[in-house]
Chain A
């Protein structure tokens, strides 16, 4: 693009021809204040705050919609501009209540900041301000009309950012206000983006309302523990309680995007049913509370006695990489068993094997935003992988990307898709084949596939991609926060960390079905969910979990574990991007799984070295292919780095495993979210949005 010379406040700068003045000024360190302008959203020019003086223009111009041109001379702080800003603020405040002390936004309010910086102290308006009672649109969204300055940010983020379009502006003049989709309430994703993006305190969050003030919280940047997308979330912590989740600093792979789970469903940490002491099954066959020392001693003794090939270990899809690594290492060395597995939700293993010998073909979340074409196979992304769906929507909006869907039912991506193919999951590949001609004309492609594509079908899909003759990248979708990490760390019966072959053991289902199983150690998983039972009635079962799950109810010893918000470590998201968890709150009674494994090892007299997240990560970095050479400064400062798994064939599995996604949507409840009070309140019928 051609560069043009623009003079802003007497400083000559170069900018791309046609770039927006407000952006050019920002890049050169000059702030043009604005409410309605929002990077990445369509232009609105509603607030008149960004007016600037442009030479040879008869009137002040709106900087947010003004493309720069050669020789343009702009003044952003001249007298007419300052006067215009004051007047604009006076108008905006003409009906805005001055209730900053009680407003949730007070302290981080853009209108407050601007008034402080540019506004006049007095208003010439003497009319009584129009008061409208506050409305509750959903359990998590409240709207206070008098505070609203009608910047349309919420309307645009809902329509463009989320693809939902549940908000609009209606009525006119002083009565104009934001209206929700269903008369008096919202039917939407309940993602809360509108609350986050509101420059004033008009839209407020049901879970954070009137709880505290922004400067009173400690802001902890960590990673959401719900789905596999690995959105970075900033927890607002006060008095060892999480009161807010958002990502206002726009850092991380998700920018400021969060879904309903990331934004609100952290309250499971405070659930009254949360386990706080270990439980031991007594002589009467009931679980009774016990001290940590007693429980650990009992488990260590039993583990020592029962160690051997008949010992089963089931790992977790939401514990950290460090915990997963240590668990499999402890199981394979100290417990002498090869029967290690976890709830597998997507076929990553076959994908990595199919791509052996090739590099750079695993897509990152950013690739979905930059790639010229995306193919979605057998997955309802907006419901199950909200960040990836959001990236694709932004890609279509900003880069006009071509989207293709091959799904069994209607999905939200259909609306933006060039071609949407409706076909049964089992025939997905036939559907993909129908797109061959269209796809081969694209410059590049990212293929995303759900759990319906597994085993041989993954190989066929990769063969299809490779036959297109264009650069193709892949994402194998998985369900949970560290599903990918569990695979990478070798929680598999015949593959160790980094997918290298080990002696084969039992798969998860085989463990449950084996009557000879001597002991079962379940860390952060619920394999007996849905009425399943353990074939081995005499097996000694130890469960580490947050809640008394179905599996924990069968256990002989239950050890209360810490959640992801209560520990340090790293997790790997669905695209293989490693991010760091940062401890937000202290646990009450429970311990992190890493500490529990360390204490059990010590009780058994096994030396695992230093058991601490950083030390274990160093060991992972040194020994696990894909995790070596990760740039630590990026991870430590809250960034995401993609791992580069083995660039060679993965040994074929000799153990039949089951890969099945739980197909959790935004509102159906997984193992953690069913303990989230707020999420259960907003529970809605999935699919209602597409009618």
Chain B
């Protein structure tokens, strides 16, 4: 499997961050960056990462299954993540998620037919002070109301 030169450089840099023999610590960032380029974490990608870090594929598979931000199937161009953890839940996160589901016609980790938007119900994103929070790709939206959500989603569809 081949990656872009930028990603290769990033990978090469990542492994130097950790002491000799602890290179497996680079696993999660490698998967995160790789996911962005590859689109999803494919079996070949897992094998490649395992090979580079001297792990077996099963160990990579375990990590991918554990972390909700790592996806085995591709997500939409805009990945909408709605937090329903305690703080957001108290401020209407669950209703916001239900609204998004209804509006988009999508469920948890589902992608729209045109592949533009995907939805995910996530755990705490660390934005409790501005709950309820949503995240579209890496952009935060704070104290979101259903109306604001509609505007954001409309904006994405264009």
Chain A residues proximal to chain B, CB less than 8 Å: 159, 165-172, 179, 181
- Is the C-beta of B62 less than 8 angstroms from some C-beta in chain A? yes
Please tell me if the beta carbons of B58 and A165 are within 8 angstroms of each other in the complex: yes
| Distance in angstroms between the alpha carbons of A170 and B62 in the assembled complex | 5
Given A170-B66, A171-B66, CB of A179 within 8 Å of CB of B56: no
Task: Give min CB distance, A242 to chain B, whole Å.
Answer: 33
Please tell me if the beta carbons of B65 and A171 are within 8 angstroms of each other in the complex: yes
| Distance in angstroms between the alpha carbons of A473 and B150 in the assembled complex | 78
Please tell me if the beta carbons of B65 and A170 are within 8 angstroms of each other in the complex: yes
| Distance in angstroms between the alpha carbons of A167 and B57 in the assembled complex | 10
Please tell me if the beta carbons of A168 and B66 are within 8 angstroms of each other in the complex: no
Please tell me if the beta carbons of A179 and B66 are within 8 angstroms of each other in the complex: no
Task: Give min CB distance, A569 to chain B, whole Å.
Answer: 43
| Distance in angstroms between the alpha carbons of A159 and B65 in the assembled complex | 19
Task: Give min CB distance, B90 to chain A, whole Å.
Answer: 21
| Distance in angstroms between the alpha carbons of A167 and B59 in the assembled complex | 9
| Distance in angstroms between the alpha carbons of A159 and B57 in the assembled complex | 12
Which chain A positions have C-beta within 8 A of B64?
A: 170
Subset of 17 A-B contacts with CB under 8 Å: A159-B56, A165-B56, A165-B59, A166-B58, A167-B58, A168-B58, A168-B62, A170-B62, A170-B64, A170-B65, A170-B66, A171-B66, A172-B66, A179-B58, A179-B62, A179-B65, A181-B57
Q: When each residue 43-65 of chain B gets 1 if its CB lies under 8 Å from chain A and 0 otherwise, what string results? A: 00000000000001111011011
A165, A168, A171, A179 interface centre (most CB from chain B within 10 Å): A168
Task: Give min CB distance, A279 to chain B, whole Å.
Answer: 51
Which chain A positions have C-beta within 8 A of B66?
A: 170-172
Task: Give min CB distance, B54 to chain A, whole Å.
Answer: 11
Considering the complex, give the chain A residue whose CB is closest to the CB of B66: A172
Per the 8 Å Cβ criterion, residues 55-80 of B in contact with A are 56-59, 61-62, 64-66
Considering the complex, give the chain A residue whose CB is closest to the CB of B65: A170
| Distance in angstroms between the alpha carbons of A172 and B70 in the assembled complex | 13
Task: Give min CB distance, B144 to chain A, whole Å.
Answer: 26
Considering the complex, give the chain B residue whose CB is closest to the CB of A415: B56
Considering the complex, give the chain A residue whose CB is closest to the CB of B56: A165
Secondary structure of the B side of the interface?
A: helix
Which chain B positions have C-beta within 8 A of A167?
A: 58
| Distance in angstroms between the alpha carbons of A159 and B66 in the assembled complex | 19
Chain B residues proximal to chain A, CB less than 8 Å: 56-59, 61-62, 64-66
Considering the complex, give the chain B residue whose CB is closest to the CB of A177: B65
Which chain A positions have C-beta within 8 A of B65?
A: 170-172, 179
| Distance in angstroms between the alpha carbons of A264 and B136 in the assembled complex | 53
Task: Give min CB distance, B21 to chain A, whole Å.
Answer: 16
Q: A170-B66, A171-B66, A179-B65 are in contact. List 13 more A-B contacts (CB 8 A).
A: A159-B56, A159-B58, A165-B56, A165-B58, A168-B58, A168-B62, A169-B62, A170-B61, A170-B65, A172-B65, A172-B66, A179-B62, A181-B58
Which chain A positions have C-beta within 8 A of B61?
A: 168, 170, 179
Considering the complex, give the chain B residue whose CB is closest to the CB of A181: B58
| Distance in angstroms between the alpha carbons of A625 and B61 in the assembled complex | 56
| Distance in angstroms between the alpha carbons of A464 and B65 in the assembled complex | 51
| Distance in angstroms between the alpha carbons of A43 and B31 in the assembled complex | 27
Task: Give min CB distance, B119 to chain A, whole Å.
Answer: 19
Task: Give min CB distance, A42 to chain B, whole Å.
Answer: 14
Task: Give min CB distance, B44 to chain A, whole Å.
Answer: 13
| Distance in angstroms between the alpha carbons of A165 and B64 in the assembled complex | 17
In the A-B complex, list the 6 residue pairs whose CB atoms are closest, starting with the nearest.
A170-B65, A168-B58, A168-B62, A165-B56, A171-B65, A170-B62
Considering the complex, give the chain B residue whose CB is closest to the CB of A166: B58
Task: Give min CB distance, B156 to chain A, whole Å.
Answer: 29
| Distance in angstroms between the alpha carbons of A570 and B9 in the assembled complex | 64
Task: Give min CB distance, A397 to chain B, whole Å.
Answer: 16
Which chain B positions have C-beta within 8 A of A166?
A: 58
| Distance in angstroms between the alpha carbons of A160 and B107 in the assembled complex | 40
Which chain A positions have C-beta within 8 A of B57?
A: 181
Considering the complex, give the chain B residue whose CB is closest to the CB of A171: B65
Task: Give min CB distance, A539 to chain B, whole Å.
Answer: 56
Which chain B positions have C-beta within 8 A of A169?
A: 62
| Distance in angstroms between the alpha carbons of A549 and B18 in the assembled complex | 62
| Distance in angstroms between the alpha carbons of A181 and B66 in the assembled complex | 16
| Distance in angstroms between the alpha carbons of A181 and B62 in the assembled complex | 10
| Distance in angstroms between the alpha carbons of A165 and B57 in the assembled complex | 9
Task: Give min CB distance, B137 to chain A, whole Å.
Answer: 23
Considering the complex, give the chain A residue whose CB is closest to the CB of B58: A168
Which chain B positions have C-beta within 8 A of A170?
A: 61-62, 64-66
Which chain B positions have C-beta within 8 A of A165?
A: 56, 58-59
Considering the complex, give the chain B residue whose CB is closest to the CB of A167: B58
| Distance in angstroms between the alpha carbons of A159 and B58 in the assembled complex | 10
Which chain B positions have C-beta within 8 A of A159?
A: 56, 58
| Distance in angstroms between the alpha carbons of A169 and B66 in the assembled complex | 9
| Distance in angstroms between the alpha carbons of A48 and B65 in the assembled complex | 24
Which chain B positions have C-beta within 8 A of A171?
A: 65-66
| Distance in angstroms between the alpha carbons of A168 and B61 in the assembled complex | 8
| Distance in angstroms between the alpha carbons of A7 and B62 in the assembled complex | 41
| Distance in angstroms between the alpha carbons of A636 and B16 in the assembled complex | 60
| Distance in angstroms between the alpha carbons of A165 and B58 in the assembled complex | 7
Considering the complex, give the chain B residue whose CB is closest to the CB of A170: B65
Which chain B positions have C-beta within 8 A of A179?
A: 58, 61-62, 65
Which chain B positions have C-beta within 8 A of A168?
A: 58-59, 61-62
Considering the complex, give the chain B residue whose CB is closest to the CB of A165: B56
Which chain A positions have C-beta within 8 A of B58?
A: 159, 165-168, 179, 181
| Distance in angstroms between the alpha carbons of A26 and B60 in the assembled complex | 36
Which chain A positions have C-beta within 8 A of B62?
A: 168-170, 179
| Distance in angstroms between the alpha carbons of A179 and B58 in the assembled complex | 9
| Distance in angstroms between the alpha carbons of A159 and B61 in the assembled complex | 14
Considering the complex, give the chain A residue whose CB is closest to the CB of B59: A168
| Distance in angstroms between the alpha carbons of A181 and B58 in the assembled complex | 6
A166, A170, A172 interface centre (most CB from chain B within 10 Å): A170
Considering the complex, give the chain B residue whose CB is closest to the CB of A183: B43
Which chain B positions have C-beta within 8 A of A181?
A: 57-58
Which chain A positions have C-beta within 8 A of B56?
A: 159, 165
Considering the complex, give the chain A residue whose CB is closest to the CB of B62: A168
| Distance in angstroms between the alpha carbons of A181 and B64 in the assembled complex | 14
Task: Give min CB distance, A585 to chain B, whole Å.
Answer: 39
| Distance in angstroms between the alpha carbons of A159 and B55 in the assembled complex | 12
| Distance in angstroms between the alpha carbons of A170 and B41 in the assembled complex | 15
Task: Give min CB distance, A165 to chain B, whole Å.
Answer: 5
| Distance in angstroms between the alpha carbons of A181 and B56 in the assembled complex | 10
| Distance in angstroms between the alpha carbons of A168 and B58 in the assembled complex | 6
Task: Give min CB distance, A179 to chain B, whole Å.
Answer: 7
| Distance in angstroms between the alpha carbons of A170 and B66 in the assembled complex | 6
